[in-house]
Amino acid sequence: MAIKLHRCGNIWVKMSGHPCWKVQSALDEQGIEYELVPMPSMRWNRQETVKATGQKRYPWIEFEDGSIYREESKEMAQRIRDGNLMDAPRISA
């Protein structure tokens, strides 16, 4: 299944504490293929994220059916590492 990882545009940031990198590295570790979708870094310019998730925070995952998954990055990364990404709570498209 194809997924899209929506994350901040600072894709060069690869520190363990960075929320977007936590999730991206978990996907990489598990060998899950994804399309990287860099989004605006500035909070005032996150209208698409607010429309999709109801909040301004990154990262979030969009599934092939258009549904959205968003939790705190620590929980997202753990769910991915546990092999439970497909069971994640989703927001309907």
Note the pLDDT tens digit of each residue in 11-62. Answer: 887 888 899 999 999 999 999 999 999 998 888 889 999 999 999 999 999 9
Residue 86, both tokens: 């497909």
By three-state DSSP, how is residue 31 classified?
A: coil
H or E stretch at 21:
helix 19-29
**Would you say 33 and 50 are in contact if contact means Cβ atoms under 8 Å apart?**
no
Domains of the chain as residue ranges with CATH: 3-87 (3.40.30.10)
Q: Report the predicted TM-score, pTM, of the whole model to 2 decimal places.
A: 0.92
By three-state DSSP, how is residue 2 classified?
A: coil
